Amino acid sequence: MSEPSNRAALSGIAHDIAKKVAKNRDPEAEAKAVAWMKEVLKKDPPPGTYEESLRNGVYLCELINAIAPNSVKKIHQKGQAFTVMQNIEAFQKALVAYGVPAEDLFQTVDLWEKRNIPAVTKTIYALSRTAGFKGWQGPTIPYENPAAKMDI
């Protein structure tokens, strides 16, 4: 279920860019990312679409904590938008501290406002790849660059 938005509908170049980004979504890459996260966490993501299940950042924080324990000290299970958005920011900071290149990170609004879900997938792949490089013994996503399929 989608939340009501106070934002005006996109138009002009913003609309064109949004359409191009949406076209670049790769359901297969998203499915691989979900399968990997489920394998690492040994639990299903919250119910909903790919982006809805990740939107509050809880599952993502649990993911980095499973790979690098105590990377995110406080995970907000519920609260106002600002509060749960802090989970996404904490996840991103933990990734940088772990060694994921900053250029592989999505922006908070990419996920929260569902603006650029392919960037979220790219970040999940980057975390898996970095974990493998760092010698993590858990599962990893076989490397493929989701950005290579993008036309942006």
pLDDT in tens, 108-117: 999 999 999 9
Name the CA dihedral angle for 52, 53, 59, 63, rounded to a multiple of 10 degrees: -100
Instruction: For 97-138, give the DSSP string.
Output: HHT--GGGPPPHHHHHT-S-HHHHHHHHHHHHHHHHHTT--S
Distance CA(116)–CA(14), nearest Å, equals 12
CATH homologous superfamily of 26-149: Calponin-like domain (1.10.418.10)
User: pLDDT tens digits for 116-135?
Assistant: 999 999 999 999 999 999 99
In whole numbers, what is the pLDDT of the chain averaged over residues?
86
**Mean pLDDT for the stretch of residues 88-117:** 96
Contact 125, 131 (CB under 8 A): no
What is the per-residue pLDDT for 61? 98
pLDDT band at 81 (very low <50, low <70, confident <90, very high): confident
pLDDT at position 67 over 60: yes
What is the per-residue pLDDT for 1? 41
Reference 65, options 35, 43, 32, 49; nearest CA is 43
Residue with tokens 């999505």: 106
More confident residue, 7 or 73: 73
